[in-house]
Amino acid sequence: NAGVTQTPKFQVLKTGQSMTLQCAQDMNHEYMSWYRQDPGMGLRLIHYSVGAGITDQGEVPNGYNVSRSTTEDFPLRLLSAAPSQTSVYFCASRVGETQYFGPGTRLLVL
Amino acid sequence: AQSVTQPDIHITVSEGASLELRCNYSYGATPYLFWYVQSPGQGLQLLLKYFSGDTLVQGIKGFEAEFKRSQSSFNLRKPSVHWSDAAEYFCAVGARSGTASKLTFGTGTRLQVTL
């Protein structure tokens, strides 16, 4: 099992540009989620999905969009990037009550 | 709503010394509790978890944690620290709401190990 994979590892965007952060898992987990990590703030939940076709908002969803067309993939979209979205983004999938994290995507918005 | 407090932002210990990282949580029911470790530039690795039962939980890399309901704490311990343990450690509390599972993280404790 590759576990949870994320691409790209690092990305630089200009303000207003759009991009998609990719997340995939090969463990057949129904539950997946996206977090952002900022210094001194721990990880905060952006969006989550309890299965294909079902998504919901976390605590910091503004500026982000998600969809879940398959069990394996859970992409995170930034429609118009802002400097406030500079962060490290982690995708996770869950089995039972335990979440497993991907390696992260470091995003810099200029 | 649940919350997690890690009161120590940064801790320095000598290699071979014992370690205790503090974690206090706030949650109305019995929580699911986790400790994760993050090495520089890496993702989060699960060290250990507590759901129920024995309040002393063993994890990977020689770590253990003790759940104390009366103190709302879940402190992480290691009897002898190795230089490779230098990393950032996150305590988290999980809660279920229907099908949603929300994991709330503390702000982390950065561990520095001196030789």
Closest C-alpha among B114, B103, B110 to residue B31: B103
Interface probe for A, chosen from B90, B105, B109, B110 (most Cβ of A below 10 Å), is B105
pLDDT of A56 = 92
Q: Decide if A41 and B4 are in contact by the 8 Å CB cutoff.
A: no
Q: pLDDT tens for residues B66-110?
A: 999 999 999 999 999 999 999 999 999 987 666 566 788 999 999
How many other CB atoms are there within 10 angstroms of residue B100's CB atom?
Answer: 14
pLDDT of B101 = 67
Write out chain A residues lying below 8 Å of B92, CB-based. 43
Q: Decide if A99 and B103 are in contact by the 8 Å CB cutoff.
A: yes
Q: pLDDT tens for residues A3-60?
A: 999 999 999 999 999 999 999 999 999 999 999 999 888 889 999 999 999 999 988 9
Q: Decide if A97 and B94 are in contact by the 8 Å CB cutoff.
A: yes
Q: pLDDT tens for residues B88-99?
A: 999 999 876 665
How many other CB atoms are there within 10 angstroms of residue A9's CB atom?
Answer: 10
Q: Decide if A97 and B96 are in contact by the 8 Å CB cutoff.
A: yes
pLDDT of A69 = 96
CB proximity A45 to B under 8 Å: yes
Residue type, B62: G
